[in-house]
Each structure stands twice: as structure tokens, then as C-alpha cells.
Amino acid sequence: MAEEAFPLHYLVWNNQYQELDRELQKKQHDMERLDPRGRTPLELSVCLGHLESTRVLLRHNADPTHNNTQGWTVLQEAVSTGDPELVQLVLQYRDFRRATERLAGIPELLSKLRQARDFYVEMKWEFTSWVPLVSKVCPSDVYRVWKSGSCLRVDTTLLGFEHMTWLKGRRSYIFKGGESGAMVMEVDHEKQVVYTEPLSLSPRDTPSLLAAMLPSQENTAQRLTSPVVSTHLNTRNIAFERNKSGIWGWRSEKTEVVSGYEAKVYSAINVELVTRSRTEHLSDQDKSRSKGSRTPLQSFLGIAEQHISSTGSQVSQCASPHNPTAITAEEYFDAEFNLNGRDIGRPIELTSKVQRFKATLWLSEVHPLSLAEQVTPIIDLMAISNAHFAKLRDFITLRLPPGFPVKIEIPLFHVLNARVTFSNLCGCDEPVSSVTVLSPQEATEPGQTPPPLQCEIDPSVFEPPPEYTTLGPGRSEPMRDEDDNLLQFAIQQSLLDAGTESDQVTIWEALTNTRPVSQPPLYEEDSQLERAIQESLSLSLAGGESGESDPGLPLSPSDPALNSPPCYSSLAEPRVPGAFAVATSFDEQLRIAMELSCREQEELDRIPSYKFTILVLLKNCQSMALMDKHKVKRQRLDRICEGIRPPILNGPMHPRPLVALLDGRDCTVEMPILKDVATVAFCDAQSTQEIHEKVLNEAVGALLYHTITLSRDDLDKFKGLRVIVRIGSGFDNVDIKAAAELGIAVCNVPAASVEETADTAMCLILNLYRRVTWMHQALREGTRASSVEQIREVAGGAARIRGETLGIIGLGRVGQAVALRAKAFGFGVIFYDPYLPDGVERSLGLQRMATLQDLLIHSDCVSLHCSLNEHNHHLINDFTIKQMRQGAFLVNTARGGLVDEKALAQALKEGRIRGAALDVHEAEPFSFSQGPLKDAPNLICTPHTSWYSEQASIEAREEAAREVRRAITGRIPDSLKNCVNKEYLMAASQWPSMEATTVHSELNGAAAYRFPAGLIGVAAGGLPGAGAGVEGIVAGSLPLAHAIAPVSHPPHTPSPGQPSKAEADRDIPSDQ
């Protein structure tokens, strides 16, 4: 009987997960035992799509990395089912398994490192291809390896391949082993940052580590819409044979000298690279997109490609999607029963490609390095996070002929080979400053093994430079799944003799060795360069009205004229009265710039920081002018112009831009991010009437929560405000259209509180169903529940969750997070969101409703997760409540204005709504003592706190500060990440001229200016006497400014009665 022979498999087949859990707790069964069809219980559960049984098996440490008899992993089988929850679960436990195995293998690797002799070696990686001319686009890299005791350092400049581009960079990976653990450091020399990660050998906190491995929804969706690809080297028939040299009749075994060592040359024949792709889980659209994305090179290389589909076995009417041919348990577990090609799981659609290669090895029997003792542990360590090293490890673990492989050439992908050469052992070929050879190699007789080289490694090699910034775990690149992306690398990068490194070529240009089409000439570069130099000179030279200084001589940095630079709206416009006169000749301007550059070093110690920036820019102008000005690269010119244009105010230089926190008094999170570029103040106000006059006059940036409202009249009070950042996702407390008309960008922080809001919404839903709040209140009031009747009375109305239907209005970030949580509790989830692209519901396993009415009719519980605007105010009203099911629940963690509280209170009293939970309210702060809800029964209310957690609060504040920093140091709105009124801002007409009195030109004694059309700016200055009259001042010291480029795009207007999902707030969670 199958139940007795394969008890775990039989329970999995019937999805009896509770009984399966009890059996596994006995620890009497082998969870990795194979059934007659070659599957473990976990593989069987995944193929049948049994989510509950899969979760139980993984929780009991079933191996998610196991390969079945066909070579497919558990994750690949999960992807083939098309179930996003199953994929996410298996992927989480697979990554968790890899992490724990990585930690478990550290002690053995450290032990091998300690036992091996110290050495230094260079591993040169060269990537080559058999495709004509493609080898020219392949990079090379030299891994420099230092090993001393249990310490290891590996330097590299080739980081990998991503998005069709070779990733370059200067990185060092340092492993420092100790008795109780190890420290891994990734040193980014370009950014001067060190990422450290301790690898503890003690038992980890399993729940927290497992939770950290939860994959993102984007990762899951990407896997479900892409083919399942498996690439491996088939070495079953591999054989090694000596290469021959010479002509026929006088041929001899080939030897070559590699890195100073005589090596025998071997060829590894019958090496097969097998690539298999499965597409049965893809929709027709995804399959078409996958086929359509094939490049000409991929089509050209598609030789020996076999397409294998299902045999077309008859499908029974009682079959399930995961058992299409209705195989019974008796048939499946009977090893002697012939299934005639039938199998469980979706019918496989397989494409297989086989390509044969010849690998080459150069083996030296006199090399002093030991492959097993010294090199293999290092390759094992690097293979944890580097797929190329993993391939090398798989190859060198074969039974190689005797000798050390001083050079190896192996295939990596269809068109890409890797050639690895070991050289400069212990610095004998080229001296290395950090390596000292203790026993130089002596001459030996041919065939005699030389004495081992001994060297001493400077301990400072394993320490990062002290001036680098040390951070926690961050940028380490995980080992990516293998795919065919490397086949397209010739399209993106070319080192062909006909072009340059920066040229972009097509595949036909690469194969025909033709130069790519050049860009059209940049006719405006000359004028832009002249205007840039004029700009820098106007800020640095004396002249103009006074006539006291020679315009041909540099201006002294102490000259007061530099403290009151001219105001103008653009570099193309003529100077306003009072501006400095500049030379019109290009040669004259260049001569002056060169004279200024010569005196730069002399004046560095005396000039303020913002004037130093100007002189540095002049030096850049000098360097560029030495080149042919017609061939100046656009990006270099743009860099100069961007540096000269004031990034926050297109007017006077502002030494201390003021940023104010309007409705809070804690700036400890924002201050470290902004203190070097701005003055930070807090106001702790509930209305603009409570904001200090200096903030209204001088603030260029504002941070705010949801407790203060900024209408058009309020915005008019700010004289220099140019960016508002809402610390949270909702921005209905700011009139974004009015802000755009005033030239003010409004931003938000949409993603900081997604998890918190989704968790709160789910808690409220569960509370309504299980009536926890009312039971607690009854016990507080003295109710006893000692009998069954009393229990029924206290728990009256509690309902079962499984099988209920949850309707979600607005499937943004929070809506999707709630949907996944609800499915885990057994809800059937439907949603209404007319702005969501088609196909998203398929990757999430949800059902889309065509209209709001359809959702209300079919939902047992409705949860709101959309933003609020004038079109969806009171979306839930008396009319829509009557369309809901009798006795349905309502939850709102989005915006209070979405629900008509009077209609809701009446529905609760009449029993049409069984219960409601509101975290947001029409009038806030909310109080039960007033308003229409004060007498409503079966109601749970919280004070707009669904967004809050300590972690989310800090993340939101940090991101808000970074957004303000981007506005200050960049350009508005181009540099902003989450600008919610960008469309209105771009569509707004040119801003009118502003009189000097409008922008308080009297500050800092500045002369009266007239601000021309299109200008965004405030007068020079800051807060004289920082801290005077304003609480919480934190001084900054950098000159900054900005500009808003006019663009015309019509604003998006949603249809009436629909939840607002304008592009600016497409994925904004309703968290705050």
C-alpha cells in the first residue's frame, strides 16, 4: 500500500497538511526519500500545487535546493505551476537554506585557509568568444589574491554583467577569520565606502533570518513572466588528451611555458553546455514577448535547438490543473504501472539547446602552489557570490591529470569562454609592495619538484583605508541565476578598432566591423561654453558700474562685490542694471580664466567655500578650452553648466537655504542629512498663523506631516518656498495645483509605511471577524464566560474567515500587500482598480472586478486603499452602502474623506453594515464625543496610526530629508524622486514677474532686484544670527540654488466616482 510504503508522499498527495505536520514532528521519516517517480515529498507537493503541505515541509527543513531526476530544482518546478504564493514561499526558504549553508561552511573553509601556506598570486580572467569580432568586446580582469593565516583579500575590477553591460569598478573583498566567527568586508575604492558583515558561527535567530529572506513581489512577478532557464555543463563523457605539436610524422606532445613554468597542454573533449527553457507557465503574451526579444545574434546561434512539448495525453474531466491526466494515487505510487508518458504537473513545454566545446588546460607538475590545499578553498569562498568562480570550481573538481593548472580555458555560456591564468606567484615576476619573499625559488633539475615558496604578507593589506566610511551590510552582489543575457553583450559595448569605447553599436555593426553612426553635430555647444564662462566670470570678476577694477584681472576674494552677485533668470538673457561687465571675446575670456586658475592655489586658504567652487569651475573651463571646442563632449559641457547654474535659486547665491519642519519639533533624523547644505528649523505649528515670519519669508524647503493644511492662501504666505515634502504618502492636505501655479514642487514618501498600513488593515479585518475588541470590553465590564451559553453571548457575531471574500478598492502597494496577507488567512480576494494595467492580477492570483458595483455586490468585507481627490470624495456613501452585501464589513485605512460618516453611522445602526473599522476620519483629530459616529455600534476607531512604527517613521523622515537635499543640490523637478504635482508644474504657464518687495530684497542688505519672468528665487542671505527668533536652528554653510524647467503636459483628470490613481500617485499606499 502506498500509505505504508510512502507515508509522507501519500499525505502530500491528499494535501493532509495537518496530519503531515504531526508525522514530521515524530522525526521518524526520511524527508528526502524518493517516490517511484523520483520525487521527494517537497517536490511532489510543489508539482501538485499544494501550498499548505509545502509550507509544512519547508518549516520542517525539507531541502528546497534538491534537483529531481530531470535536473529541475524545486523553485523551477514552483515557477512552472504559476502560483505566486508558492514561488514566493519556496524562494524564501531556498535563500534561507543557502544562507545557513554558507555560514555552516565557513568553519571548514577557515580551517583550510589556516593550514595552507601564505601566498600571493594573480588570477587573470580573459573572456573570449568564437563569434567573429565579438572577442573584441569581451573584457579582462586580474584578480589579485593575498592569503595570510585565516585572512584573505581578493581585488577585482570586473564586477559582473547586468542589463547588457559589463559592470566595472574597483572592489576589494576581505575575509578575516577568527575563532568564533568571520568578518567579510567589501571595499568600494571608487566611493571610498566599506561594507562590513559579520559571519557568526553561533546559531542564528532563525525567524528573523527567514523573514529577511522574503522576496519582493516584483521578483516573484518577474519569475512568473519569464521562461525557466537551466544551464549546466555535462561532464559525463568528458575525457582528457594531450595536445600535439609539429607536422605529420614528427608530432610530439605539446608543452608551453606559462608564467615561467613549463606546462603540458591538455584538451578536455566531449564537454557539453546544455541550456533548457520551460515556458508552460507563461501566457501567450509573455511567450510572444520572450520570442520577440530574441536578438539577431540569438537567432543566429540557435543551432541544435530542440522544442519539446507535451505528448497530448487525454485529459480527464475530473483532472485538476496540476494533475491534467487524472493520475490516481495507486497508479502514481505503483512502480510497475506504466503511465505511458503521463505525469503530474502542467504539461511541459521545453526548449533544449546543446553546444559542444573543447576545454583546454595547461598543467605544470613543478608549480609550487597546491590546487587542493591552497587554491580550492579560495575558489570555494568566492563561488558563494560569483557565478564565474562557481563554474571554475565545478570544473577543477573533476579528475584532472596530474599537475597544477597554471592556465584553464572553460566555456561559460553559448558564446563566451573564460581563460584563467595564474601568475606572479608571491611577487616573483613583478614585485608587490605588500609581499616579502622569504625563500626565493632555487633552480631545480627538470622534473624535480621545487621547494615551496614562502612569503610574508603585510597585515595592513587586510585593513581598509582609515579614511573610508564604514557601513553595515549593503552592496554585496548575490549570485544571480544564470540566463542567456550574456548573448546580447555585443549590442551594448564595443571596443572595435572602427569605433571607441563610448560608441553604441548594433549586432550587425559588430559583425561587419563598421563604425556606428555618429550623432549629429552639437551646434549650440560653442554658445553654451561661452555663456558658461561668462556666468563664472560674472560671479568672480570686478567691473561694471564702479569701474574701479580692471576686468582683465582676477578679483580679490575679499572684495564685497562677490557677496552681492547679480540676479538674472537665464544665461541667455541680458544682465539687469548693476550686473558686471564681461569681456565678449572668447579668447579674452579664456585668458582671464587661465589667469584665475594660476592664482587658485594661492587663494584657497582665504576664500569662502562657495567662491572656491567658482574657481574650480573656471579651472574646468580652462582644461576644456585646450581641446578642440567643436569636439567637446556634451556630458562634460553639461557638467560645467550645471555647476555654474545655481541649483536651488536661479537668482542670487544663497549661502544658507532655510528648510523648515512645519508641524513637528524633532529634527534629529533630518539634521544629519541636511546640515551641510541648509539651515534646518522646526516650527511645531498647526496652521500657518503659528509659523514664524522668518520662515514664511526665507524658507525654500518645507517638511510636514498630515496635521497641518496648506491651502492656496497658506501657500501665498511663503515668499521663497520652492519644494514641499510630505513625510508620508498622502498629500491631500496640500493644494498641489495651487503649489504648481506658484512654482512649488510637492513631493511625498510613498513606500515607507506599506507594511505597517497593510498589517493594521489586516488586524482590523481580523478584529471585525473575530470580535476581539468587543470580547475584551465585555470582560473589562465584568461579564463572565463560564458556560457555553455565556461564551455564545460574549462571542456572538464571531465568524469564520476561510471562504470569505475580501474586496479591495485600489490595488497599489498597500492594496497588494493586504491581498497577499488576506490570501494567507483563507480569504478569496477581488479588487477594483481601473488604473491598474492588465495582467498584474494574474501574477498575484487575484480577480479583477470590472466596476465598483460588482466589487460591492460580491464582497463580504470591503477595504479601502486609494488616494483622495475631488472626484472620489464620499466614495462610500448611502447609495454605495446599499449596494454592499447585507451584513458586510467596511475597513478604511486610506483617507477619511472617502467615507460618508453620516451614512456609515446610519447603516451601522440599521444593521446593513455588520461592523466597520476606521483608522482615518473626515475630521481629525478624531473624538467619540462629537461627530456622527459617537453613537454608532460595532465600530472600531484608531487615531490615524496605521502608518506608524518606529522603523517606518525613521525611514520616512530620512527619505523626506533626502528629497529636500535633491531639490537643493539638483534641479527641480528633474532631480526629484517623488514629485506628485509634476504634471501640473510642467503645464503651468511662465510665472509672472515678481517685484523686489515680494521676495524681501532687504534681507542681508541686498539691493532691490526685479525678478524677470520664469525666475524662481529668493534674495541672498539666510538667517542672520542663526537661531534668533526661530526655534531649533541648525546652521549649514553651502551655497545652493535651483531652477524649474518649463514643460507642457496636460494634467491627468480621473473619471468621476473612481478612486484617484493619477500617474504621480500611481502606487501611493494609504499609510498616513
Catalytic residue ranges: 895, 924, 944
- DSSP annotation of 887 reads T
CA distance 127 to 419: 6
Amino acid (1-letter code) at residue 1037: S
Lookup result for grid cell 605588500: 434
Structure-block grid coordinates of residue 418: 573564460
Alpha helices in 645-720 (DSSP H): 671-674, 693-698, 712-716
CB atoms under 10 Å from CB of 86, counted, come to 23
Cα angle, residue 404 at apex, residues 398 and 410 outer, rounded to 5° = 50
**SS3 (DSSP) at 21:** helix
Residue 478: how many other CB atoms lie within 10 Å? 9
Cα 777 to Cα 799: distance, rounded to the nearest angstrom: 18
The 8-class DSSP code of residue 719 comes to S
Place of cell 560653442: 526
Residue 560: asked if its preceding bond is cis (omega within 30°), the reply is no
Kindly state the cell numbers that stand for 204: 542564528
- Angle, vertex CA 1009, rays to CA 1008 and CA 1011, nearest 5: 150
Please report which residue ranges of 41-188 form alpha helices under DSSP H. 41-47, 51-59, 74-81, 84-115
Q: What is the residue whose three cell numbers read 499609510?
A: 1071
Give residues with Cβ within 8 angstroms of 392, minimum separation 6: 379, 383, 408, 410, 418, 420
* Sign of the torsion formed by the C-alpha atoms of 1028, 1031, 1037 and 1038: negative
CB atoms within 10 A of CB 556: 15
Are 287 and 279 spatial neighbours (Cβ–Cβ below 8 Å)? yes
How does DSSP classify residue 690? G
- Tell me which H or E stretch contains 357: strand 350-364
Contact 735, 711 (CB under 8 A): yes
In one-letter notation, the amino acid at residue 402 is P
Q: Is 514 helix (H, G, I), strand (E, B) or coil?
A: coil
Nearest to 150 by CA among 172, 175, 123: 175
What backbone torsions phi and psi does residue 275 show, to the nearest 5 degrees? -120, 125
**Separation CA 729–CA 707 (nearest Å):** 13
Which class for 865: exposed (0-12), middle (13-18), buried (19 or more C-beta within 10 A)?
buried
Partners of 829 in the beta sheet? 806
In the block, cell 514642487 appears at 745
- The residue behind cell 549649514 is 1036
Residue bearing cell 510630505: 726
Residue 167 bridge partners (DSSP): 160
In the block, residue with C-alpha cell 534646518: 680
Cβ distance 431 to 403 under 8 Å? no
Question: How many CB atoms neighbour CB 1020 within 10 A?
Answer: 25
CA 682 → CA 649, 752, 889, 1024, 1031, distances in Å?
A: 22, 22, 41, 17, 6
Q: Determine whether 928 is exposed, middle or buried from the number of CB atoms within 10 Å of its CB (0-12, 13-18, 19+).
A: exposed
Q: Cis omega (within 30 of 0) on the bond before 973?
A: yes
User: CA nearest 484: which of 635, 646, 355, 580?
Assistant: 355
- Please check whether residue 976 is in contact with residue 745, taking contact to mean a CB–CB distance below 8 angstroms: yes
